[in-house]
Structure 1
Amino acid sequence: MKRFANLDGVENNKTFKDMRKWQKERKSKVKDLSVNIEQAPLKRIKELNENRSQTSYTWIGHSTFLIQLNGVNIITDPVWAKRMGFQKRLTEPGIAIADLPEIDMVVISHGHYDHLDFPTLKKLKGTPHYFVPAGLKSLFIKKGYQKVSELNWWETTDYNGITLHFVPAQHWTRRTLNDMNTSHWGGWIFQTKQETLYFVGDTGYFNGFKQIAERFEIDTVFMPIGAYEPEWFMAVSHISPEDSVKAFLELKANTFVPMHYGAYRLADDTGPEALERLYRTWEKEQLPKDQLKILLLGETVM
């Protein structure tokens, strides 16, 4: 059975002993979980359902976005689950799944449950084409999905005027006891004649950002900033807010849209803490304020 690996042989090799150390640390930390990411006061549901010409993106929560590009309705890592393991979802999704337009394309970054939730997929409107990392197609076929394409790193395909590229990330994956890294992980780049959007997926900071920058001119990057604490445990697989800004600068992108924070408590950091560190780093680097698009849940940029 093929096992996938990261660039430069980087491994997530944390042990059960490390996990126990983290759990012990966690008990000693006091975190304010009463402050959460807010919902947008105005949801543009009617416009989103009617839009087939303008580029737009809407943050649903965690790593889930509705992206409208070239007349195509795209969902990234669709997860509307109310729980993740033993933890309740901290915030409601920005848009109810029933209020979405019909979906044409779904991209999956990797097989972890907070990025691939089959009960959510069943509820999506339309008959979307699923684009998944190498090694995941067989699971989709087994679950009854027929319109599935799987890609390896640096592979490319076309869909209705969008060129779709699967690019590296530094992570790992597992859904059962026996399937560790039997499917890949990565990010997705959506390229049209007018613009290029990059959905990073789930990643630690790595040299791949420089390689991606050599191949693409990125307009908007959807970048993870959460689930980084404690960093001695998480850094290999989850990028910190500081390193996410470093990656953004290496990518030479125009717009930074943060994600992967505030919905599920996957690590010790909170959503507001992640944002605070992001703001602080942005100011320290003296970057233009209009290049940072921090969205409320359900907020649309159109």
Structure 2
Amino acid sequence: MKRFANLDNVTSYKSFKDLRKWQKERRAKVKDLSVNIEQCPTKQQRELKENRSLTSYTWVGHSTFLIQLNGQNILTDPVWAKRMGFDKRLTEPGISLADLPEIDLVVISHGHYDHLDFPTLKKLKGNPHYFVPVGLKSLFMRKGYHKVTELSWWDSIEHGGITLHFVPAQHWTRRSLRDMNTSHWGGWIFQTPNKETFYFVGDTGYFSGFKQIAERFMIDTVFMPIGAFEPEWFMAPAHISPEDSVKAFIELGAKFFVPMHYGAYRLADDTGPEALERLYREWENQKLPEEQLKVLLHGETVMGNK
């Protein structure tokens, strides 16, 4: 059975001893869990349902975005699950499943449950085509999904006038005891005919791949993870810190930074507000323009590539 690996042979493997050490640390920490990322007070569900011409993106929560490009409705890592493991979701999704437009295509970054939730997929409107990392198609077929295309790193494909590119990330994956790294992981880049370019990073640690991606693409907007990084001695190979996410943004030469992967599920010791605070601090430290940072509330939409 094929097992996939990261660039530079970086491994995310942690021992049972490491896990016990983390659990002990976690019990000793005091965190304020009463403050969550807020819902946007002015949501645009009606406009999103009717929109087939303007570019838009809406943060649903965690790594889930509704992106509207070239008349296509795209979902990234659709997860509306109310629980993740033993923990309840911290906030409601920014858009309810009932308020979504019909979906044309879905991209999956990797097979972890907080990024691939089949109960959510069953409820999507429309008949979307699924684009997945190499190794995941067989699982989709067993679940009854047949409009599925799997890609390897640096593969490209056209769909509905949009060119999709599957690019590297530094992570790992597992859904059961026996399938460790039997499918790949990565990010997705969307390019429209008029050269709008959006990069959905997926789940990743900081890695050399950002420089490689920058050599191949001119990125307009990057959807960048910032959460689930603490403790960093445990998480760093697989989850990028807010400081390193800014470093990656600078290396990419992108125009706009949209943070994600925080505030919906508590997957590590950091909280959503902590991740944002560190992001803002590093943004200021690097003297980056305020208008390039697009921090969204749950359900907030940016209409037009601004």
TM-score (norm 1): 1.00
- Which residue in 2 is equivalent to 1:193? 193
Aligned equivalents of 1:232, 1:78: Cα separation in 2: 29
> Helix, strand or coil for the counterpart of 1:20?
helix
> Helix, strand or coil for the counterpart of 2:213?
helix
For residue 108 of structure 1, what is the amino acid of its counterpart?
Answer: I
For residue 51 of structure 1, what is the amino acid of its counterpart?
Answer: N
Which structure 2 residues correspond to residues 250-261 of structure 1 after superposition, within 5 A? 250-261=251-262
Q: Does 1:262 align with 2:263?
A: yes
- Which residue in 1 is equivalent to 2:143? 143
For residue 298 of structure 1, what is the amino acid of its counterpart?
Answer: G
Instruction: State the shift of 1:193 in Å.
Output: 2.8
- Which residue in 2 is equivalent to 1:112? 112
Instruction: State the shift of 1:88 in Å.
Output: 0.5
Number of equivalent positions: 302
- Which residue in 1 is equivalent to 2:125? 125
Q: Does 1:181 align with 2:187?
A: no
Identity %: 81
> Helix, strand or coil for the counterpart of 1:149?
strand
Instruction: State the shift of 1:13 in Å.
Output: 2.0
**Unpaired stretches in structure 1, ≥5 consecutive residues:** none
TM-score (norm 2): 0.98
Aligned equivalents of 1:45, 1:156: Cα separation in 2: 31
Aligned equivalents of 2:271, 2:235: Cα separation in 1: 14
Which structure 2 residues correspond to residues 30-179 of structure 1 after superposition, within 5 A? 30-179=30-179
For residue 128 of structure 1, what is the amino acid of its counterpart?
Answer: P
Aligned equivalents of 1:12, 1:44: Cα separation in 2: 39
Aligned equivalents of 1:101, 1:172: Cα separation in 2: 32
Aligned equivalents of 2:102, 2:193: Cα separation in 1: 24
Q: How far does the alpha carbon of each residue in 1:14-60 deviate from its partner, in whole angstroms, 9 at most, with x for none?
A: 10000000000000000000000000001100000000000000000
- Which residue in 1 is equivalent to 2:212? 211
Which structure 2 residues correspond to residues 2-13 of structure 1 after superposition, within 5 A? 2-13=2-13
> Helix, strand or coil for the counterpart of 2:119?
helix
Aligned equivalents of 2:202, 2:51: Cα separation in 1: 25
Aligned equivalents of 1:142, 1:300: Cα separation in 2: 35
RMSD: 0.4
- Which residue in 1 is equivalent to 2:222? 221
> Helix, strand or coil for the counterpart of 1:58?
strand
Aligned equivalents of 1:300, 1:72: Cα separation in 2: 16
More displaced, 73-82 or 8-17?
8-17
> Helix, strand or coil for the counterpart of 2:266?
coil
**Unpaired stretches in structure 2, ≥5 consecutive residues:** none
For residue 127 of structure 1, what is the amino acid of its counterpart?
Answer: N
Instruction: State the shift of 1:12 in Å.
Output: 1.1
Aligned equivalents of 2:242, 2:173: Cα separation in 1: 22
- Which residue in 1 is equivalent to 2:233? 232
For residue 35 of structure 1, what is the amino acid of its counterpart?
Answer: V
Instruction: State the shift of 1:192 in Å.
Output: 1.3
Instruction: State the shift of 1:172 in Å.
Output: 0.1
> Helix, strand or coil for the counterpart of 2:92?
coil
For residue 140 of structure 2, what is the amino acid of its counterpart?
Answer: F
> Helix, strand or coil for the counterpart of 1:205?
coil
Aligned equivalents of 1:91, 1:273: Cα separation in 2: 16
